[in-house]
C-alpha cells in the first residue's frame, strides 16, 4: 500500500526541513512559471513548522514537479481579507470565495522568485523510486528529500 508522500522524501523526526510539496491543478502551471502568481491560497497547511520553500507538483496531465518557489510569508488570514488578495493570486475573487465557502480563514502564502525545473521530476519516476503518491493537501519534505529533488530537477531561477 502506498503512503501519502514519498517514504524517502517525506519529513521525519530525524530528517526535517522547512520545505513542502504542494499539488496544483495543471491549469496553474503557466501562471506559476510565468511569475504571475504572487500569492497562493490553501484551506490547510503545516502547523508544526513554518514552510519557507515549496516544490510545485502539477497534477495530470503534467504529473511532475515543475518548480521550486521560496515562501516569503505564511499566515492564516480571515477569509474576507484573503479574498481581497485574489488578484495577486491570479484567481477571480468569486472563484476564491467559492473555494473558501464556510471557512473563517485561509492560508495565504506569498511567493518569491520561481525556479523552474530544467528536468521536471515525473510522477512515474517518483512513484518508482520513492513510493510517491500525490497529496491533496501538502507533503512535508525532509532535508534529504530536498537535496534529491534539487539534484534531479536542477532548478533554474527565472526573471520575475
Could you list the pLDDT tens digit for every one of the 160 residues in the chain?
A: 344 444 578 888 888 999 999 999 999 999 999 999 999 999 999 988 999 999 999 999 999 999 999 999 999 999 999 999 999 999 999 999 999 999 999 999 999 999 999 999 999 999 988 888 888 889 999 999 999 999 999 999 875 4
**Residue linked to cell 504572487:** 38
3-state secondary structure of 53: strand
Q: Which of 131, 146, 153, 128 is nearest to 6 (CA)?
A: 131
Max Cα–Cα distance, the chain, nearest Å:
43
Q: And the C-alpha cell for 132?
A: 510517491
Backbone angles phi, psi at 3, to 5 degrees: -95, 165
Cell numbers for 11, please give them: 519529513
Strands (E), the chain: 19-24, 39-42, 53-58, 64-78, 105-111, 115-122, 139-140, 155-157
C-alpha closest to that of 43 among 110, 112, 136: 136
**Dist. CA 103–CA 31, nearest whole Å:** 26
pLDDT confidence of residue 86: 98
Predicted pLDDT at 4: 47
pLDDT number for residue 6: 47
State residue 7's pLDDT score.
56
Statement: the pTM of the whole predicted model exceeds 0.85:
yes
CA distance 14 to 97: 39
pLDDT the model gives residue 51: 97
- pLDDT at position 131 is 84
Amino acid at each position: 500500500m502506498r503512503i501519502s508522500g514519498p517514504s524517502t522524501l517525506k519529513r521525519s523526526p530525524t530528517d526535517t526541513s522547512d520545505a513542502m510539496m504542494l499539488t496544483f491543478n495543471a491549469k496553474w502551471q503557466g501562471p506559476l512559471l510565468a511569475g504571475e502568481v504572487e500569492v497562493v491560497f490553501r484551506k490547510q497547511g503545516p502547523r508544526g513548522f513554518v514552510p519557507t520553500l515549496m516544490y510545485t507538483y502539477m497534477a495530470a496531465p503534467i504529473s511532475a514537479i515543475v518548480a521550486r518557489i521560496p515562501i516569503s510569508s505564511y499566515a492564516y488570514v480571515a477569509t474576507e481579507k484573503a479574498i481581497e488578495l485574489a488578484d495577486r493570486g491570479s484567481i477571480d475573487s468569486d472563484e476564491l470565495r467559492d473555494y473558501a465557502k464556510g471557512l473563517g480563514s485561509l492560508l495565504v502564502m506569498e511567493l518569491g522568485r520561481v525556479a523552474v525545473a530544467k528536468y521536471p521530476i515525473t510522477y512515474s519516476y517518483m512513484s518508482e523510486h520513492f513510493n510517491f503518491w500525490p497529496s491533496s493537501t501538502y507533503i512535508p519534505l525532509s532535508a534529504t528529500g530536498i537535496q534529491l529533488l534539487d539534484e534531479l530537477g536542477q532548478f533554474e531561477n527565472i526573471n520575475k
